Amino acid sequence: MELLTKTLFLCLALALTNGLPVQPLDAAAEDAALPDRCAGIEFDAITPDEKGNTFFFKGSHLWKGYHGAAQLANQFFTELDDIHHIGHVDAAFRMHNAANHEHNYFFLDDKVFSYYNHTLENGYPKEIQEDFPGVPSHLDAAVECPKGECMANSVLFFKGHDVHIYDITTRTVKTKTWSHLPVCTSALRWLEHYYCFHGNNFTRFNPVSGEVSGAYPKDARHYFMRCPDFGHGGDYEVPKCSEIKINAISTDDEGKSYLFSGSMYVRLDTRKSGLHSFPITRSWKEVTQGVDAVFAYDDKMYMIKDDHVYIYKTAAHYMLIEGYPKTLNEELGIEGHVDATFVCPNTHTVYVLQGRNMRSVDLTATPRAVVEDLPMPFSDIDAALCSNEGIHLFKGSDYYLYETPMILAMSRMAPVPQPVTNALLGCQD
């Protein structure tokens, strides 16, 4: 690709020297000069920005998101140009833990550049040691690791097989050698997992131990970009809000929000990393035919399908509790098809919606049974979610909002439906 670019410039120079008319390069020639990540290239750096766009860097170009052509990096980060002689970046990451707002940091040789909202902040570039004492120059890759996934809020800096773990609070560095891990030319935290990119491949690793579990390396073109003849989750199309259809929606006690549709699910709370769908069996392997309703309570996820309830422990990985699934009647004292369920924050009651009935069940009781059978102003609800904003009842691409379960039960007619929006479900407005 570099040879092609040099050839184009050489032809231009010869034409000028000989007084020949110079024709502008046509679009096809310009496109041919761009790097093509589907050809299998090695990225210099990968980082999301504060809006959830993921940028893949190669030389003076970048890709915004998981599909589309390469663009000049200085179209998005103005100072990445000849003023600072930046032809590439060594490493980049997004800082979540900065006070007041998020930053993007870019590293080149012994310098660090800090951007907020794609604008270079005052005083930058700086020496790396000024912002990150103890971190070496000429880095290969960098990725942030929040407390809970690492021992403390940290940044992992990669150089060769050495990993320099920078504690954001104490501003100290511990160095480990992970010789079993490939030399990472870029790194990415995505959906609470950590990826080392090398060549056109990637390897998922544990951010504390560097341990690699599973069959790696894998070709990045199957997962992190959309390429002809390749495919996995990267070709997910976010549905239009006017066409969205969901079966269930719930937020667990760790703040993870899930939307279920057919045999797939989407994490809504990670939209800054991009919305992607996965088979439900990826996280809840025993639930093979989709779900009718889902709710979270007491660090557990309850998943209802037909007349059975699956209960999973909420942990790093959902684990089915021994003895499940059980029947709806055994678990909740309910018979018949369930349209939707919801549990409001800091309460111990699950509301089960069935046709035009809303049945409440005390989750602290043994055995569990229906406490109240309340009327509904309408039927055929697809999904329900209770939060501090109230109760959202979803029906097709619309929703109805109620302040409390009692107001819902006392209503004699449905309010005017409101259209589902991007802000609510991450769909396309």
Q: Give the residue numbers of the binding site for heme.
A: 232, 276
Q: Nearest 5°: phi and psi at 373?
A: -120, 105
Q: What is the DSSP string of 53-107?
A: -EEEEETTEEEESSSS--EEGGGTSTTSSTTTT-S--SEEEEESSSSSS-EEEEE
Cβ neighbors of 36 (< 8 A, separation 6 or more) are 1, 70
Q: Return all residues near 71 (Cβ < 8 A) that are at least 6 apart.
A: 61, 62, 63, 64
Chain-centroid distance of CA 42 in Å reads 22
End-to-end CA distance of the chain: 39
> Which parts are annotated binding residues?
232, 276
Residues contacting residue 130 through CB under 8 Å, at least 6 positions apart: 112
Contacts with 146 (C-beta within 8 Å, 6 or more apart), sequence order: 96, 97, 153, 154
Contact 215, 57 (CB under 8 A): no
Tokens read off for 132: 């990150």
Range 362-395 burial, b when 16+ CB lie within 10 A, else e: bbeeeebeeeeebebbeeebbbbbbeeebbbbbb
> What are the tokens at 409?
């039960």
Residues β-bridged to residue 383: 394
**In whole angstroms, how large is the CA radius of gyration of the chain?**
26
